[in-house]
Structure 1
Amino acid sequence: MTSAPSTTARPVGFSAARELLLPLFAEIQAGAVERELEHRLPREEVRKLAAAGFGALRVPTEFGGSGLTFPEFTELLIELAAADSNLPQIFRGHIALVEDQLVAAPSDRRTAWLERFVAGEIVGNAWSEVGSGALGVSGTVVTERAGRYVVNGRKFYTTGSIYADWTDATARLVVEGQPDTEVTVLVRTNQLGVTIADDWDGFGQQLTGTGTIVFEDAVVDADQLHPFTDRFRYQTALYQHVLIAVHAGIAAAVERDAGEQIRARTRVYTHGLAPLVKDDGQIQAVVGEISSIAFVAKQTVLGVAAAIERASETAADRDSADDLQANIEAEIRSAQAQVVLSELVPRAATLLFNTLGASAVSRTSALDRHWRNARTVASHNPVIYKTRIVGDWSINGTPPPFVWAVGTAKPQ
């Protein structure tokens, strides 16, 4: 998919960006239930966001972006998630590549990418592989053929790539006579040799396009091929941060929908406490818990955003003591938030049904999507491993792992 370069002037600063984007968020929210019920991918909504500069919010103003801090960007990410939780996750790979370029040394390549972001080009993700591949070894391979690089392989969980102009893939560079190297490669999606399927069958976050990409001699420009070890260090914290921002948005949406549904209800039970549901103290208490969860979720995510901002500020002095400490903090804070919100937000989505009657389970209202989406997000990056990592850090000061992989381990 290729988008025409945008000529729209980008809003500068948080207030201007929010003023421009809020009407678009409202439009996205208005169609969320219909898209969910029809399983209609939000292609148009993604392109509208890109055209409005959502993908360039973090790009410095001198390059034409909005120049937002990471906490400011997170505020808008949460608001978008409240409108439709699929959308921030769709941009997850894009958000990561923006950060990778922001902390990179000045170069023609960096400038070109920042300009692409401002022009409305979008990047998806293609890191994961399923099956029996060896742990930590990519089955996707880049080779040189007839004077050019080509990539071959199969990826799954390719969030956002079905909407994107590029996909950010991990692969193994194979050069005759040299050791194989793990690399990241940016591949244009609108070329022969790239096939993307909407075959993600999860019960939640169903419209994220988290399906399969197949590369068959897809051409790769040499300047889009880089060692994996060159990636920005706080990437794992950032990838998790997008998911906890989605959780915060879901909690806000649950509170919003609970209020709307309760205020509209005129039918009551004989054993209720008031002639109107909105005045029933028992119902108010349940919504009070939902509201509290939504508040805590947002504030927790903003705290993680501040830690990620500090990591971005030390990135130019990579491997210094300050940089290591900032990255440890970002990783630990994102993990702590994941541990807590993975329990609290699905609970809020369940409590919603305690405030309403049986009509709330109607499929046409799609209120169940909040629990399904929250539970699906909570299943990414298994939380049980994060609790151990946080505990080991808390007790022993053990630094967390910054990179990890999934695959089949070698027999012991």
Structure 2
Amino acid sequence: MNQTVSAASGNPAPVRPGSPELEKLFELIAADASRRDQERIHPHDVVELLGRARLGALRLPAEEGGGSGTLRDVIGLAVRLGEADTNVAHIYRNHFTFVERFLIGSDDPRRKVWRDAVLNGAVFGLASTELDRKQTGGASDFNTALVEDGDGYRLNGTKYYSTGTLYAEWLLVRATAAGSRPVSIVIPTSREGIERVDDWDGIGQRVTGTGTTNFHNVRVEAGEVIFDKENPSFLLPYTSTIAQIFVTAVNAGIIRAVLRDAKALLKSRSRTFYFAAADRTVDDPLLLQTIGRIASDAFAAELVVLAAADALDKVAQARLGGLGLDDLAHEAALTAAKAKVIVDELALRSANALFDVGGASAATRRKNLDRHWRNARTLSSHNPASYKAQAIGGYEIAGTRLPSLGFF
């Protein structure tokens, strides 16, 4: 790749959205995406390629060696990467959320270590979810415990759905310290006692590394612990919005992939349906109508996720300018929630319509076209759209604001 070198980091500047280098990367990733899904091949080589391209540094300022990208750039990237391979795109969800929460605009002295890791191509994962932890009624203590040990700590516990962590060099862990104090811990995944288990068995998103993470008496240094009350980066209102719209953007990418495969399928068919209106499939008005509908769904889905990204960019600019965030952050969360309600439906509808183009022969395991529906269904199951729609309705009728924490 012909990349300029960043004076700040000594590394090549991150590839930019729309660049020929990135387009070639997308083509390379897409070429084997179906086989990886079908044979459950983990994309370690792809993540390594993206690390060398320093894609994860897109949001960092250029003066620090980053790409100075906007959140619109990040979400647009998620759409295109989702089109190439939804598994690979999903791996970066927690990475970009970490960058936004802990690196952008932060003056924490520990930031340099994490920033340098991102600039060198490292991926940051997340270990937060606990299946036996109460979710309703607000956050309760994590069962994962951080206990004092000399001048540092020891960490013990189990986390589930640790998306991307299997490929990550660094890990953000949520835990509870003495006195029921919630904390964030940022540690290398190579630390002794960290066990990453490849046990995700979902129908879709098969190789996102969404497995169990165990912590067996892991040593944690004092400088690796961030107490929420001292630095509430994790719990600022609507800080989960970027994570939510990222998943929705990957679903928008699936619709683009469905369109790509539907067009290729239609052009490749020599046989048509009984009583078809044309001798050639490419001239059949009903099949062309289906293609047109999928193309329209892809267009609409991308527009609404980018609208949500634009709303998030306003929040980021206000935060860096020291301005009030509450109303802007709520508007961004509301836009992201609306986008999810729309895009999830369009993704599932389009993935289903793909089979109207190809008929029964499109359902062969060899073609593996069902992966689009499986992946869209799995992504849509993240924080169901029904809860988003209910919250949006409450705001429209009674002015009730969306929850500021959790999955909004």
How does the TM-score come out when normalised to structure 1? Answer: 0.91
- Matched to 1:230, the amino acid is S
**Closer, same or farther: CA 281–390 of 1 in aligned 2, 3 Å:** same
**Closer, same or farther: CA 50–356 of 1 in aligned 2, 3 Å:** same
- 1:158 match: 162
Q: Is the contact between residue 8 and residue 51 of structure 1 (CA under 8 Å) also seen in structure 2?
A: no
Aligned residues: 392
Residue 148 of structure 1, CA deviation: 1.5
**Closer, same or farther: CA 60–386 of 1 in aligned 2, 3 Å:** same
1:249 maps to 2:243? no
Residue 187 of structure 1, CA deviation: 2.3
- What is the alpha-carbon distance in structure 1 between the residues aligned to residue 185 and residue 361 of structure 2? 49
- What is the alpha-carbon distance in structure 2 between the residues aligned to residue 121 and residue 273 of structure 1? 54
Cα displacement string for residues 34-80 of structure 1 (whole angstroms, at most 9, x for unaligned residues):
11111011111111111101100111101111111111222222111
- Matched to 1:292, the amino acid is S
- What is the alpha-carbon distance in structure 2 between the residues aligned to residue 323 and residue 194 of structure 1? 37
- 2:333 match: 331
- Matched to 2:219, the amino acid is V
Q: Is the contact between residue 149 and residue 221 of structure 1 (CA under 8 Å) also seen in structure 2?
A: yes
- What is the alpha-carbon distance in structure 2 between the residues aligned to residue 75 and residue 133 of structure 1? 34
**Closer, same or farther: CA 129–11 of 1 in aligned 2, 3 Å:** closer
What percent identity do the matched residue pairs reach? 35
**Closer, same or farther: CA 104–233 of 1 in aligned 2, 3 Å:** farther
Residue 25 of structure 1, CA deviation: 1.2
Give the stretch that moved more between structures: 103-112 or 154-163. Answer: 103-112
Give the stretch that moved more between structures: 107-116 or 244-253. Answer: 107-116
Runs of at least 5 residues in structure 2 that lack an aligned partner in the other structure: 1-8
Mapping 1:199-238, distance limit 5 Å: 199-228=199-228, 229-231=232-234, 232-238=236-242
Cα displacement string for residues 275-325 of structure 1 (whole angstroms, at most 9, x for unaligned residues):
21111000001111111111000000100000111111122466x6x4111
- What is the alpha-carbon distance in structure 1 between the residues aligned to residue 384 and residue 71 of structure 2? 25
User: Of 6, 9, 14, which aligns to 2:12?
Assistant: 9
Across the aligned residues of Structure 1 and Structure 2, the Cα RMSD in angstroms comes to 1.8
Q: Is the contact between residue 15 and residue 55 of structure 2 (CA under 8 Å) also seen in structure 1?
A: no
- 2:384 match: 382
Mapping 1:47-196, distance limit 5 Å: 47-131=48-132, 136-174=140-178, 179-196=179-196
- Matched to 2:94, the amino acid is G
How does the TM-score come out when normalised to structure 2? Answer: 0.92
- Matched to 1:91, the amino acid is Y
User: Of 271, 275, 298, which aligns to 2:302?
Assistant: 298
Q: Is the contact between residue 59 and residue 65 of structure 1 (CA under 8 Å) also seen in structure 2?
A: yes
Give the stretch that moved more between structures: 128-137 or 72-81. Answer: 128-137
Give the stretch that moved more between structures: 388-397 or 367-376. Answer: 388-397
Residue 14 of structure 1, CA deviation: 4.2
- Matched to 2:249, the amino acid is A
Runs of at least 5 residues in structure 1 that lack an aligned partner in the other structure: 1-5, 406-412
- What is the alpha-carbon distance in structure 2 between the residues aligned to residue 307 and residue 339 of structure 1? 17
**Closer, same or farther: CA 11–121 of 1 in aligned 2, 3 Å:** closer
